[in-house]
Structures are given as structure tokens and as C-alpha cells.
Amino acid sequence: MGPANAITQQRGEDDRTKSQYEKGVKQLIDNGLKKVPKKYIFPAYDRPVARNIEDPNDAKQNLQLPIIDFADLLGPCRTHVLQSLANACEEYGFFQLVNHGISNDVINNMLDVSGRFFNLPFEERAKYITSDVRAVVRYGTSFNQTKDTVFCWRDFLKLLSHPLPDYLPHWPSSPADFRHAAGTYAEETKYLFLTIMEAMIESLGIIEANQEKETKENDNNIVQDLKDGSQMMIANFYPQCPEPNLTLGMPPHSDYGFLTILLQDEVEGLQIQFQEKWVTVQPIPNALVINVGDHLEIYSNGKYKSVLHRVVVNSMKSRRSVASLHGLPFNHTVRPSPKLIDELNPKLYADTDFNSFLSYISTTELKRKDFLDSRRLTSI
């Protein structure tokens, strides 16, 4: 075989390999994969420490996040809960929300229908494969398969979700109850987000607890902006992995937007960086995990922190989660609140918008908090 033929053959093999990977890890497992392909093997310094999720001794490495009781937030204990909320956002960037008011049926239906979507034949899921990061519906694998040098052990379905009537007709029609179950969950989480954000703005001292609601909105236009803001839901599927110590379900990253509301099943996988160590978040039945996004860090002028987190996988169980990411309308600019800036607290972040973020991820492999770091002013 001549050199030209050898090159052509190698390119053909590379194309077939690329095509195989682009079908996702679910398809690889369904085809009987027994070893992690090289494309999914992370450098040694990024690999997770091997754990056995069935070993009770491993539970000692788990982190109990602060717990915020949503019912208390709406009751006479609000002032105390607001302080707990502020502490959680400053020290952890994460908390677990209990008594959030979303019924078990709505939650279980969301997890169930997303799991059934990933169990559809690949040809059905493939209808939504696109490299367009602006697409209303996008099915894919890894984190960003067009830029990732190493793929992660995840398949995802992204759904633009607000305003819901505009987007719902474009969502998958199979399973038959997908639009109803996912649409109901999207509406519930939108209301929850707005209520939590109003509490967070109050906890920052931007609005006062004793203000009338109308006055609050007049003094703080961001409340209304968030009502009209963006929402994107991401259903994630992490298949069981034959060599989980070699790869990650998602690499270390922070979330774009103001808040992420995470629904997860009972299987451990989420880890956050806490006191320079990776610790596993212990799932709490019927609780939602809430975390600060990059835009809330900017808006709070650094008081509330978006925190690096990642997902580990295991060899025994697949894992499902649904992340609902919320923020301002895509055409709005995010900037530190003027009420949090003075001579002692200078502006720490440059203004930014969604197009800046899309341009960044379209040309750069997104890592850790790189985008947020690009917004930091040089005076920091």
C-alpha cells in the first residue's frame, strides 16, 4: 500500500471512529463496549479517585450541602432563612432545597420521561443532533463534541424552555407524554427560580424585606427582566461505565446564567470543589440542588460565587439528571448591581451578554471558569 492509500485509509478509519463517538456513549454501551475508548480517557491529573458507591465507608467522603427549607422562606422565619441562603451562596455556591412545592408526580414524571427518551432507538434520538448551539432542541454527547479534545461520558438533550408556547411544539414528540411532562416541570421550575431569585436579591441587600412587592419591582428592574428571562433545560444521561476511574461524566465547569436547578435520581455523581477538594454531594430524596451561576457572581459583584463542579460515573448504575438553567433574556447585558459598588467595593467584572458567551464557546474548549475569568477586570 502506497503512502497516499495509507493516508486515505487512516482518514477513513478516523471518520468512522468520529462518527461512532458522535452517536454518544449510550450507543457505545448498547453495542457492547467493554473498555473505555482512548477518546474518553482523561489525563491522569483530571481523573476521579476510584470509589465504590455501594460501600458505606465511601459515604464519609460525601458533602452535606446547606439545606434551605422553601416553606420557611415564605413564612415568618424568612429573615433567618435569608441569612442561611446568603451563607450558602458565599461559602458553598450550592445548597439543597426541600419543601419546594413541586409535587413528587411532576418530579418523577420528568425523570421517567427523560430516561425513556434516551432509551429510544438511536434513529429517533438522532433527529435532534446538531452542532448549532442556538438550536431550540439539541441532542448530543460529551460537553461540546465539536471542541472537546477528550470526550466525557454523557449524552444530553437540551431544550430552550421560555417562553414555553414558542418552544414546546419543537420539542420531541416521542415518548408521547414527553412534551406534557417536561413542559409541566419547566413551568414549575420557572416559578421556583423567580421566587428564589427575589429572595437572593433581598439577601444581597438590594431590596428590603419590608418593601411592598410593586415598590420592589420598581426599585429593582432585574426582577421583571428575570420574569421574561431565558430558561434552558438539559436532560443528562450517564450510562454505567466499564472503567469509571478513567473518565468523567462532565469535566470541571461552572454554569452560565443566574441559577441552575438540578433534579437528580438517587445515584451519586455530582461533585463540587470545596476547600480545594472534590467532594460528592449526597442526594436527598425529593430535594433539588441549586447552584449559583456565573451571571449571579457577576451581578453580586463577586459576593456569591459560582463554584466548579463535575460529574463522576460508575460501573454499576446509570444516572439521570435534569438541569434547568435560568437567566436574563438572551439580548440583555449582565453587569454588577450598582447598589453593590462603591469606593470600598469597586466593580470587579466587565459587562457581558449571551452572544459573548456563545462566541466564546464556539471558538474555545470551555474549561473550568474560563469564560467568567475572561470577564474579570484587570484591576482585581
pLDDT at position 193: 97
Using DSSP, state whether 249 is helix, strand or coil: coil
Q: Average pLDDT for residues 287-308, to the nearest whole number? A: 96
Of residues 245 and 12, more confidently modeled: 245
Instruction: Tell me which H or E stretch contains 10.
Output: helix 3-22
Distance from C-alpha of 305 to C-alpha of 285, rounded to nearest angstrom: 26
- Whether 256 maps to a domain, the answer reads yes
- Whether 115 maps to a domain, the answer reads yes
Cis peptide before 175 (omega within 30 of 0): yes
Q: Are 309 and 271 in contact (CB under 8 A)?
A: yes
pLDDT at position 19: 59
- Whether 46 maps to a domain, the answer reads yes
Cα dihedral across residues 74, 188, 158, 134: positive or negative:
negative
Q: Average pLDDT for residues 69-79, to the nearest whole number? A: 93
Q: Average pLDDT for residues 63-73, to the nearest whole number? A: 93
Torsion of CA 266, 179, 193, 311, to 10 degrees: 40
Strand partners, 291: 94, 260
pLDDT at position 357: 74
| Residue numbers of the domain that contains 329 | 23-375
pLDDT at 3 over 70: no
pLDDT at 22 over 80: no
Of residues 314 and 131, more confidently modeled: 314
Written as one string, the DSSP assignment of 136-181 is SEEEEETTTTTT-SS--S-EEEEEE-SSHHHHGGGS---STTHHHH
Write the CATH number for 184.
Answer: 2.60.120.330
- Whether 253 maps to a domain, the answer reads yes
Q: Average pLDDT for residues 62-91, to the nearest whole number? A: 94
pLDDT at position 5: 45
pLDDT at 18 over 90: no
Q: Which of 304, 197, 310, 314 is nearest to 261 (CA)?
A: 197
pLDDT at position 251: 92
Instruction: Tell me which H or E stretch contains 280.
Output: strand 277-281
- Give Cα separations from 226 to 80, 196, 317 (angstroms): 25, 11, 37
Report the share of the chain in percent with pLDDT over 70: 84
Q: How many domains does the chain have?
A: 1
Q: Each residue of 92-145: pLDDT tens digit? A: 999 999 999 999 999 999 999 999 999 999 999 999 998 888 899 999 998 766
Q: Which of 76, 306, 74, 92 is nearest to 191 (CA)?
A: 74
Q: Average pLDDT for residues 88-95, to the nearest whole number? A: 96
Distance from C-alpha of 68 to C-alpha of 288, rounded to nearest angstrom: 10
pLDDT at 214 over 90: no
pLDDT at 57 over 60: no
- The sheet with strand 259-264 has its strands ordered as 67-69, 94-98, 288-292, 259-264, 319-326, 231-238, 155-160, 137-141
pLDDT at 380 over 50: no
- Whether 8 maps to a domain, the answer reads no
Distance from C-alpha of 316 to C-alpha of 241, rounded to nearest angstrom: 8
**pTM of structure:** 0.88
- Whether 12 maps to a domain, the answer reads no
Range in 128-137, 144-153, 188-197, 215-224 with the lowest mean pLDDT: 215-224
pLDDT at position 12: 37
Q: Average pLDDT for residues 11-22, to the nearest whole number? A: 49
Distance from C-alpha of 215 to C-alpha of 160, rounded to nearest angstrom: 31
- Whether 321 maps to a domain, the answer reads yes
Number of H helices, E strands in the chain: 13, 15
Cis peptide before 163 (omega within 30 of 0): yes
pLDDT at position 168: 97
Distance from C-alpha of 145 to C-alpha of 361, rounded to nearest angstrom: 11
- Whether 7 maps to a domain, the answer reads no
